[in-house]
Chain A
Amino acid sequence: MNIQQPTKRLWINAYMLMFIVHTAQTGVGIVGMPRVVFLESAQDAWISVMIGSLVAIPFAYVIYYTLKPFGRLDLYAIHDIIYGKWIGKLLNFFYAFYLSWVFFNIVMNYIEMIQAWVFNLLPTWLMFLLLAALAIYAVQGGLRVVTGVTILSFLLSTWLVFMIAVPIQYIETTQYFPLFNHSFKEMMMATLKTSYTILGFEILFFVYPFVDDQKKTMRYVNIALIYTTIQITLVTIVCIGFFSDVSLEKTIWPVLSMFKIVRLPNLERFEFIAVSFWMLVILPNLALYLWAASRGVRHVFNIPQKYAVWIIVTVGFVAQYFLDSRLIMNLITDKLATTGMYMSFIYPVIIFLLVRIHLYRKKGAKPNEKSTNN
């Protein structure tokens, strides 16, 4: 088994995980999330969102403790160790496929957003190529460049959060009451619907081996998760107060529709700026997922990562021709949300248990001793 470990030259500082995890979570999901959750638990949606996003924290710990004993090995390498060569390959292939799917889905959702809001006639393939080119460019530079993209995007786009101050003035407080009048089941369904938005912390599976001071990992991951929680809960709260029931249920991108009322001097239609700026928000998602997916393809097929990137993008490019209606996109996004939930909430627990069993059997010969030496 050839398992490569990242050399020190490629490591990143632990604090950068703040940006990586947060930006991996924030993407196209947040724009439509309030509505999706609202459909399940109406005015209590914000509670579900808060619970849903806080749930990520224990699961991030599960991921952390799965990876910790292996030091500088990522999930793909751990799969090989736990399951053996063939089953490991199969699982790795599936995981790489899932990550590519996420990449593809983000690109397609964003293109749909552009087409609905700004350029109706913009051909999908063109936008796909432009976005993919940016992502490929970042990934070819390796994780350090990808991290650079995440930090840059965070710094340049985080001001968008403050624009929410305008819709806050239009909030109708009666719309939050009565509190807690939904059944436990409805609340749980709503919490599940939040999962698509908070997905992204599982990127830790692949980034962790590159972290310089690994002991500090969870400190920064927690900061990122809490920041995401505050952000999406706030957005949901404002959306509930801003839209009346029926109009929130009908609005596909409530966050963008909310920006429709922002009016700056000399700039009448702020939402156009928001849609364009959203590219900065999704760029780190694209780069991170493409990077992680291409590492998987590299691992499974034993080819250099730069070719793996091209394979994924080419397949995606062909696929976009077949998936271009709102209905199919909805279906794919829904399926992805479900798969993503298994991949980041259930699978980590399984692999965690398997790793524990594996380590228990091999008492004495701890694999991390080997890896910390280099």
Chain B
Amino acid sequence: MRKALIISLCCLLLASCVEQKQLERLGLITAIGYDIPDKSNPTIRGTVVMLNFSPELSNFTNVITQDGVTSKGIRRALNQESSHQVVSGQLRVAVYGREMAENGIRSIVDSFTRDASIGNMLYLVIAEGSAEELIKFKKGTLTYNFGTHLYNLIQQNVKDEQFPSPTLQDFINTYDNPGRDPILPIMGIDEDRIGLKEIGLLKGDRLVGTLSNKELFYLLIMMKGFGSASFDIDVPYDKISGQLYHSKAHKTAEEFRQGSVFVTVDNVSTKQKIKLVKKEPPTFKIDIKIKTRVLEVTDNIDFMQEKTFDILKEISNKQLEDGIRRNIAYLQEIESDPIGFGSIYQTKERKKELSQDEWVSIFKRATFDINVDTEFVRTGVTD
């Protein structure tokens, strides 16, 4: 009994041998930004948002900038000028300056994956200008936790399926896969708030092109796992004129001929199927089935007639197909493959490993057969 007591006492005492981490003495990095200040030398500039807990004051944040050659070196330098021990266990967002993103971000991503203290659900984003500028941005005089703010902003949009999840996990997986490329959101400052500007398309770890939010829609409907988004169908008057209630006679015949009716639809569900039908030249068959409901119409369309739907369907299919075609042509041009045509190609390819370069050359000469099928399931609560 006494022996057991002594042993357990020893264990208790030994428990403090492990490094202690007291919350009040830590500076928790919640966001970090990387920039290349000068192209001619290899230093990178890191800007961090550090959250401190203090027993007397309410929690406060600090923004510090430091230069270094590696991201861990930056952290070391930060530690030297901080009264708190700098730790990265709460890191939520990593921001890359645009210039840095164009030159490749792999080495810094490596530092994240190697470190077990950094979670894989961290978001990676690209700043429209420099990361420093974005992170140092303050709304009025209010100091708030920028890292958490940015994180919530992205998370909210990801949940709403506005753009694909840009977590570290997703990035590594697509980066390491020769047949797929990552996409990251580009954030920018809009007078007094921070928001999503466009979507950055990467080739490997380098930013090679951007898509506007509107064009992104065509990309998303090709990607698996995206169910909802709304889009506008641009219907020329002369096609739909037979389907309009003419009771509203305020439009002249002239107006009829020129303008369009816009129908905003919300897609309820999307089913994507991409298949490799021929290997040489590589031909992909893209079948997309979209179920939609009408959200808004800019003129009085008569939805009681079946013909209305036929017309809308035809126009919508054509518009989506064109959008997708345009989108793929752009991807081929910038040599980025976020949809993963490469991995689909590989499932049929018996050669052992397909390298990034090989895939790029195959991708450039690939042809695509696109079929979109829109189905209107509901027209809302009014006819």
Q: Verify if A335 is at the interface (C-beta below 8 Å from B).
A: no
Chain A, Cβ-Cβ closest to B180:
A244
Partner of B176, one of A174, A177, A246: A246
Contact assessment for B177 and A244 in the assembled complex, using a CB-CB cutoff below 8 Å: yes
Contact assessment for A177 and B119 in the assembled complex, using a CB-CB cutoff below 8 Å: no
Contact assessment for B17 and A261 in the assembled complex, using a CB-CB cutoff below 8 Å: no
What are 5 residue pairs bridging A and B, where the CB atoms are less than 8 Å apart in the complex? A121-B19, A123-B17, A175-B343, A178-B350, A260-B120
Question: Which residues between 227 and 254 of chain A lie within 8 Å of chain B, taking CB atoms?
Answer: 242-247, 250
Q: A119-B18, A250-B176 are in contact. List 10 more A-B contacts (CB 8 A).
A: A174-B346, A175-B343, A177-B347, A178-B348, A181-B350, A244-B177, A245-B177, A245-B353, A260-B119, A269-B119
Contacts of B346 in A (CB 8 A): 174, 177-178
Q: Which residues of B are interface residues toward A (Cβ below 8 A)?
A: 7, 11, 14, 17-19, 89, 116, 119-121, 167, 169, 172-174, 176-180, 340, 343-344, 346-350, 352-353
Q: Which residues of A are interface residues toward B (Cβ below 8 A)?
A: 42, 116-123, 126, 130, 133, 170, 172, 174-178, 181, 242-247, 250, 257, 260-261, 263, 268-269, 271
Contact assessment for A121 and B177 in the assembled complex, using a CB-CB cutoff below 8 Å: no
Contacts of A175 in B (CB 8 A): 177, 343
Contacts of B7 in A (CB 8 A): 133
Tell me the bound Cα distance from A104 to B353 in angstroms: 38
Tell me the bound Cα distance from A244 to B182 in angstroms: 13
Contact assessment for B119 and A122 in the assembled complex, using a CB-CB cutoff below 8 Å: no
Contact assessment for B176 and A247 in the assembled complex, using a CB-CB cutoff below 8 Å: yes
Contacts of A172 in B (CB 8 A): 173, 340, 343
Chain A, Cβ-Cβ closest to B92:
A268
Contact assessment for B19 and A247 in the assembled complex, using a CB-CB cutoff below 8 Å: no
Contacts of B177 in A (CB 8 A): 175, 244-246
Contact assessment for B347 and A119 in the assembled complex, using a CB-CB cutoff below 8 Å: no
Contacts of B178 in A (CB 8 A): 245
Contacts of A250 in B (CB 8 A): 176
Contact assessment for B169 and A121 in the assembled complex, using a CB-CB cutoff below 8 Å: no
Chain B, Cβ-Cβ closest to A180:
B350
Contacts of A122 in B (CB 8 A): 17-18
Tell me the bound Cα distance from A263 to B167 in angstroms: 13
Partner of A178, one of B18, B176, B340, B347: B347
Tell me the bound Cα distance from A271 to B121 in angstroms: 12
Given contacts A174-B340, A246-B177, A247-B172, contact A261 B350 (CB under 8 A): no
Tell me the bound Cα distance from A130 to B7 in angstroms: 10
Given contacts A126-B17, A269-B119, contact A174 B347 (CB under 8 A): yes
In the A-B complex, the 4 residue pairs with the closest CB atoms: A177-B347, A246-B176, A244-B177, A174-B343
Contacts of A133 in B (CB 8 A): 7
